[in-house]
Amino acid sequence: MKNEILKYLNHKLSVEYFDVLPSTNAYIKAKAACDEGLLVIAERQTAGHGRFDRKFHSPKNGIYMSLLLKPTFIGFDTTLITTAAAVAVAQAIEQLSGKKSKIKWVNDVYIENKKVCGILTEGAVNPKTQGFDYVILGIGINAFTPENGFNSEIENIAGSVFEGFSTQLMARLTAQVINNFFEFYIKKKEFLTDYRSRSNVLGKEIYVLRNDTKVKATALEIDDKCRLLVKYENGNTEYLNSGEISIKIE
Ligand code: BTN
């Protein structure tokens, strides 16, 4: 599989491939001193995690990968790494499966109302410069349905990109996501227009979930920093940052 992935990658990266890891993000964290471009891929994870420390089910037939980035050297707006990655995944899915994919602010990719991908970006801030020493971009894609189906906790919300199983499609999708991401990250190709046009929340009634509160609002706009502008029922508006807030589509 590793050689197959290398065949389709447009960039020379240091790729480490595993049958199983607790978490590819955690693995990279321990290797954060490495150069930008370390790509770690696991066939399954035993302790995959998502935003807000939620468990990310990671059985075989999915793609679990993390990429080590040092954006300080490249001058890319770090807050947009997740955004760029979501577009990279959505485009790769369409390129290889022909299926339309949508993005739920900020980091989930959907096909026909089922989540097929989650993205978790973790970084270490340098206390002196306030910039990032490194960023770990972690991407989990339900490429194919797991052999025993999705876990009961997620079976109603999760979907997969392809039917059946194909090593070649796994390898191509893995590489295509990275190739697309580098178009944005290195070549600075514009991606916010595509991000907005794929949004499945803009114009919709949503719930803003913050700590233990749940407030109804309308999603109005996504700005250039990928903040979501919402209007509450009392008429107040607010720009939401992804860090501490998640949303639920009504
Ligand atoms: C989410 O849905 O909240 C984000 C999920 C991110 C999962 C990926 S899988 C590869 C990497 N390793 C992890 O433990 N998490 C990310």
Q: Is the distance from the beta carbon of residue 64 to the nearest atom of ligand 1 less than 6 Å?
A: yes
Q: Which string of b and e fits 165-199 if b means at least 16 CB within 10 Å?
A: eeeebbbbbbbbbbbbbbbbbeeeeebbebbbebb
Quickly count: other Cβ atoms within 10 Å of residue 227's Cβ: 17
Among 44, 45, 55, 56, which is best to mutate for testing ligand 1, by the most ligand atoms less than 8 A from CB? 56
**Percent of the chain scored above 70 by pLDDT?**
96
Q: Which amino acid is at 30?
A: A
Q: Which of 64, 105, 116, 141 should be mutated for ligand 1, with most atoms under 8 A from CB?
A: 64
Average pLDDT over residues 221-228: 93
CA distance 78 to 144: 30
Q: Determine which residue's CA is closest to atom 13 belonging to ligand 1.
A: 48
Confidence (pLDDT) at 249:
67
Q: Is the pLDDT of residue 193 over 80?
A: yes
Confidence at residue 77, expressed as pLDDT on a 0 to 100 scale: 76
Does the CB atom of residue 27 touch ligand 1 within 6 A?
no
pLDDT tens per residue, range 160-181: 999 999 999 999 999 999 999 9
Give the DSSP letter of residue 123: E
pLDDT tens, position by position, 96-131? 999 999 999 988 999 999 999 999 999 888 777 777
CA 24 to chain centre: 13
